[in-house]
Chains A and B, each alone.
Chain A
Amino acid sequence: MPTKLAEPTAQTAERLIDIDLTVNGKAEHFSIAPWVTLLDLLRERLDLTGTKKGCDHGQCGACTVLVDGKRVNSCLTLAVVRDGSEIQTIEGLSSGDTLHPMQQAFIDHDAFQCGYCTPGQICSAIGMLREGKADGRDAIRENMSGNLCRCGAYTNIADAIESVQGREDAR
């Protein structure tokens, strides 16, 4: 189905700001209003709906993406302030049919049920490994506590992360 994604309206055009982002390795240019969050930009303008909205207030972590390699709540991030950044979303983690080790670990350990918090959990877990904070079970739990899972997959998520935490390619 051909999809026309939301365009800015004529009236808002004068308030638009030009930004450039690299999203999952691809250069993208936007003219957007300054109040558009990175989360809404990804979901509504780029159709990258793998990044989820669970609260829009920085309270759940479902919207976690990697911005210049660091985990960030994209709902609390205005897209315009990230001009020039490199964004990695859940869609950009796997290459072709090959899953990122963290993604595979989540499947192997049944680290989700409904799957809604999952992209955020995975991005957050990768971000945590990069921060060098995944030192043992307690540290994993503590440093993943910004990512809520109402399905209660926490122990399986911790198992999944533990199973790949030492791997270079899991970062």
Chain B
Amino acid sequence: MATKLNDAPVGIGSSLSRVDGKLKVTGGARYAAEHPVADLLYGVVVSGAIAKGRVTKLHTEAAMAAPGVVEVVSHLNRPHIAWFDKAYQDQVAPPGSPFRAFYDAEIIYSGQPIALVVGRTFEDARHGASLVQVEYEIDEHETDFERSPEFKPKKTRDTFVEPKNRGDEAGAYAKAEHKVDVSYYLPTEHHNPMEMHATTVQWHGDGRITVYDKTQGSQNVQAYLVGVFGFAKKNVRVLNPYVGGGFGSGLRPQYQVYLATLAAKMLERSVRVVLTRQQMFSFTHRSECRHIIRLGANDDGALQSIYSKAVTPTSRFENYMEPIANWGGQAYRCDNATMDWALTAVDTYTPGDMRAPGAATGMTLFEMALDEMAYETGVDPLALRLTNYSDRDEMMDIPYTSKALREAYQEGAEAFGWSQREAAPRSMRDGSELVGWGMATGIWDAMFQKTTVRAKLSANGHLEVATAGSDIGTGTYTVMTQVAAGALGLPADQVSAVLGDSDLPPSPIEGGSWTAASTGAAVQIACDAVRVKLAKAAAKVDGNPLGGASVDDLRFEDGRMILAADPSKAVGYGEAMTAAGVSEIEATEAAAPGPLESIGEMLGVKKKAKNTHSAIYAEVKVDEELGVVRVTRIVCAVAAGRIVNPKTARSQILGGVVMGIGMALHEETLADHRIGRFMNHNFAEYHIPAHADVLDIDVIFVDEPDSEVSPLGIKGLGEIGIVGTAAAIGNAIFHATGKRVRSLPITIDKLLD
């Protein structure tokens, strides 16, 4: 790595309770729609009812005449907005032409916003919105991705990994003793964070706006608003101190921030826009996927061939793609592997990243197919995975910086009691319920992104660490506090972490599970710089008690610098600062992947693979007559490098596992292709796991020291919990019932079918 760091910061590894906990349990944490702003107007979105065509007439007279309605904003009266696509392309936009609301009369997907009714109260605006009548000219649409032709766009997303194939898959498959040739399906899913997307734009009247937005990246939104509306960058401040979940829905600037800003600019007033839960289904989603998997193996379960092809839809205006097909080919030793992918274009909004994009789909479905091979060969599912275990990224043919998956398999199996399993389906029972045990492997990337942190130590011993990044529930505030407290030997309550403000030093969007590793490292480096300055200041203290010792000779504890060689010699931080005549010491530092590494990755020559791994074991109980499935037990053993905070880390995994339960049993956005529209756009019909669905979850972190993956050895945990979980559950359902359901979620109708 490029940067040398202080070893063993004391703050890392402690189970500090969430530092923002008190604010969150008292209602004090304010989310995007909750910042008080004077003279606020409220905007309510009118959503389009057709999938494709154009608005021919917008009847706004009744709405305009309704009490309290101030304006109906639409393509007919909007102020000037940017023309070039470039202006709309945010940090993570896939190749294409981003959606722009109210640009013209064209409708390109169902649910598209076509007007914003602005009123003096929320109720007035909502009433006004109900009075807007729309006439359309309807074009033919296609939303069924399996009826659209496959294609492979020339330009792929920067993060997309083109498969790299090896050997002769077709030849090896033909000769294999055991074959599995299956087609799996994952439906569309919606992120549905509990906080609905919302924006409060404060119009200051002097050219400046302050924007409280539900986003995973304040600076991404700031750049977007500057590009689209032509504001000067210094006049746009975006804040997101608390974010009520994201899971990817807030990676890109979504239309609520665009509409609220548009209306504010037009009316020169402060405006708040909150989407409805129904409208939460009208921008971005995890794409559905058809995954063809063909496996060949020997009698002992050794894989001879892997074929994996994933087809997913994208919108007609952007080419969104995820690396879905690659994971099995990366994870397992096998000489012959072909991975392939294709898109088809449909008339929907562009799909987007949702928790572990690519892996949550591809590894999950692959792990279900692999379970089929376990039964085909008669080899225990865990033994089969161990037989094909690899210490290398088999697709790229490079080693990992670390991979303690073997330990995860083992510790998870012990905790679960896997060795007690009867292999045959339908062989285990508990009263009237069939019992099934299944397992799967999870894998995700361990990424690291350039992040800058400002550390400021005051003479009273208070330390503030700040960056523009976000805490979307992931525990970033807590991680920053711990690393900073450790670096300067301060109690946690003397440290404050500041996030969610585009004015702060640059941070990437909060996603990809890179935040703990990247922000943690930047905090450490910034605090190290403060230490250096403190040591210099100490030399100014009368009599120079530390004798000009450098940081390496000092311990930073309890707000004091202590000479390691002679602990009787110490200087307090405040004392040193007073002697140096300063009231605070500040340092701003960036943590970034080393230059060689960046260039290497740019040229596609990665030397080592960086991944987190997991082993998931699931127990289900299935009511044979009713087909009701209960997930009674899950053990998720995770190998994810160094764990900063076991308490919040565990919660991250629990959250991923719960979403995995949803993927296995509940979550599915259904489209009516005749009208080209998602039908079940509310929580009564789009099911997510509830309390009663979640029983016992055991999380294990296996020891995985790794000095290469990131400066502090952290790998990140936001996504690994979901990867493979649905497969373990699906495999357990097969074990319980003998029924292999190849289309998620595994609902009662499919089991009774």
A interface residue numbers (CB < 8 A to B): 1-12, 33, 35-36, 40, 43-44, 47-57, 59-60, 62, 89-91, 93-94, 99, 103-104, 106-108, 110, 112-119, 122, 140-142, 144-158
Contacts and interface: CB of A to CB of B under 8 A. Distances in A.
A116 B28 CA distance: 11
B47 interface: no
Closest 5 pairs between A and B when the two form their complex, measured CB to CB: A50-B27, A152-B658, A114-B473, A116-B244, A11-B67
8 contacts: A3-B36, A7-B120, A54-B277, A55-B682, A145-B690, A145-B691, A150-B247, A151-B655
A112 B27 contact: no
B737 interface: no
B724 to A, nearest CB: 16
B99 interface: no
Given A6-B122, A150-B245, A154-B694, A103 B475 contact: no
A152 B683 contact: no
Contacts of B194: 52, 54, 60, 62, 114, 116-117, 148-151
Nearest to A51: B27
A89 B246 CA distance: 25
B39 A4 contact: yes
Contact of B121 (A6, A52, A62, A112): A6
A33 B473 contact: no
B690 A115 contact: no
A165 to B, nearest CB: 15
B474 A113 contact: yes
A9 B25 contact: no
A113 B123 contact: no
Contacts of A43: 33-34
Contacts of B682: 55, 57, 59
Given A3-B37, A155-B696, A108 B17 contact: yes
Contacts of A53: 33, 196, 274
Contact of A35 (B23, B123, B243, B473): B123
A33 B684 CA distance: 28
B654 A156 contact: yes
A49 B194 CA distance: 15
Nearest to B721: A152
B393 to A, nearest CB: 29
B648 A145 contact: no
A161 B332 CA distance: 43
A122 B25 contact: yes
A51 B195 CA distance: 12
B121 A151 contact: no
B659 interface: yes
Contacts of B683: 55, 57, 59-60, 148
B121 A144 contact: no
Contacts of A56: 276-277
A54 B122 CA distance: 16
Contacts, number: 208
A99 B30 CA distance: 18
Given A52-B244, A57-B683, A113-B652, A107 B25 contact: yes
A154 B691 contact: yes
Given A55-B682, A145-B691, A44 B121 contact: yes
Contacts of B655: 113, 151-153
Contacts of A62: 194
B127 to A, nearest CB: 8
Main secondary structure of the interface of A (DSSP, over half): loop
Nearest to B191: A150
A56 to B, nearest CB: 6
A103 B21 CA distance: 9
A76 to B, nearest CB: 13
B24 interface: yes
A9 B121 contact: yes
B474 A155 contact: no
B143 to A, nearest CB: 25
B277 to A, nearest CB: 4
B242 interface: yes
A90 B25 CA distance: 8
A107 B18 contact: yes
A150 B193 contact: yes
Most buried by B among A1, A11, A114, A116: A114
A49 B277 contact: no
B340 interface: no
Nearest to B121: A6
Nearest to A47: B36
Given A110-B648, A110-B650, A115-B29, A154 B37 contact: no
A116 B245 contact: yes
Contacts of B694: 141, 152, 154-155
Of B67, B124, B684, B695, most A-chain CB atoms within 10 Å? B67
B689 A152 contact: yes
A52 B195 contact: yes
B270 to A, nearest CB: 11
Contacts of B688: 148, 150
B164 interface: no
Contacts of B647: 110
B27 A55 contact: no
Nearest to A37: B123
B565 interface: no
B26 A90 contact: yes
B596 interface: no
Contacts of B245: 113-114, 116, 150-151
B697 A155 contact: yes
Nearest to A142: B692
Interface string B1-40: 0000000000000000110111111111111011011111
Contacts of B689: 152, 154
B279 to A, nearest CB: 11
A19 B647 CA distance: 46
A8 B127 CA distance: 14
Given A57-B277, A57-B684, A115 B473 contact: yes
Contacts of B33: 43, 49, 53
B277 A118 contact: no
Contacts of A153: 651, 654-655
Contact of A49 (B34, B196, B276): B34
Contact of B691 (A112, A119, A158): A158
